[in-house]
Amino acid sequence: MSLSPQKVRANERIRSPQIRLIGAAGEQFGIVTPQEGLARAQEAGLDLVEVAAATTPPVCRIMDLGKYLYTLGKKEKESRKKQKTIDIKEVKMTTKIDDHDYQTKLRNARRFIERGDKVKLVVFFRGREIVYVDKGRKLVDRFVQDLSDVAMIERNDGLEGKAILLYLTRIAPVKKKENAPASSTVPASPSAGPAKTAPDSH
C-alpha cells in the first residue's frame, strides 16, 4: 500500500515562510519563499515537495510528486518485509504423554520453527509427578534431539515451579563454501605410461 499524498506536504500545502530549494536536477537555489519555489516547479511542469521537514528552513525539491510517493511506498513495503514479527509458540506436554501425542506436538513444533517462529517447550508436572523431574528432563532432551536438524536451544530456564521451560529457535542456515576448482592435472591414461619398446620386426 503506497503512502497517501496527505502524508507528504507539497505545493500549496507547504506553510513555512521560507524553504531551502533544490531543483529537479539537484541544483541549489538557496533560501526562497514557497511561492517562488512553486512558481519554478510549475514552470518545469512538476511539483514542489517537502523532503526534509525537520530542518530550518525545511528542504523542498522540485520533482514529480506521484513518482516520489510511489518510491516512498516501495521503501515502506520493503521495510515491513524485513521487520517480520517472530511469534513464540508454546508446546506443552507432561511426562505421561503417549507416543502418538508426542509425535503430533513434535510435528507442530517443527512446522513453527521452519516458518521462522520460536518454540517455548513446557514440560509440566501434575501433583506428585514433580518427583519425576529426571523423567521430564529426559523428555526435554529427546524433544531437542528430535528437532536438532532445524532448531537449537536459545534459552534453557530449567525447572520453574512445576514445569521445565526451554526456548528453541531456528538454526541459522550455514552458507556452503564453493567447492575448490578441480585440479587441472589430467590423470594419465593407461596408454600414457612409460614408452613401450617397439616389437622386433620379423
Give the CATH number for residue 98.
3.30.110.10
Q: State the cell numbers at 135.
A: 523423567
Where in the sequence is the domain holding 148, given as residue range(s)? 88-170
> Which band of pLDDT confidence, cut at 50, 70 and 90, is reported for residue 129?
confident
Strands (E), the chain: 19-22, 28-32, 47-52, 59-63, 88-94, 118-124, 151-160, 163-170
Q: Mean pLDDT across the stretch 131-154? A: 92
Contact 11, 47 (CB under 8 A): yes
Phi, psi of 73 (to 5 degrees): -60, -40
pLDDT cut 70: percent of the chain above it: 80
Task: Identify whether 148 is part of a domain.
Answer: yes
Task: Identify whether 17 is part of a domain.
Answer: yes
Pairing of strands 163-170, 118-124: antiparallel
pLDDT at 131: 82
pLDDT at 34: 95
Q: What is the CATH number of the domain that holds 54?
A: 3.10.20.80
pLDDT at 12: 92
State the total domains in the chain.
2
Task: Tell me, yes or no, whether 72 and 10 share the same domain.
Answer: yes
Pick 81 or 141 by higher pLDDT.
141
pLDDT tops 90 at residue 100: yes
Of 53, 81, 109, at which residue does a domain stop?
Answer: 81
- What pTM did the predictor assign? 0.47
Task: Tell me, yes or no, whether 126 and 62 share the same domain.
Answer: no
pLDDT tens-place string over residues 3-58: 454 578 999 999 999 999 999 999 999 999 999 999 999 999 999 999 988 889 99
Task: Tell me, yes or no, whether 76 and 94 share the same domain.
Answer: no
pLDDT tops 80 at residue 117: yes
Stretch (H or E) spanning 75: helix 65-82
CA dist 137 and 159 (Å) reads 9
pLDDT at 83: 65
pLDDT tops 60 at residue 177: no
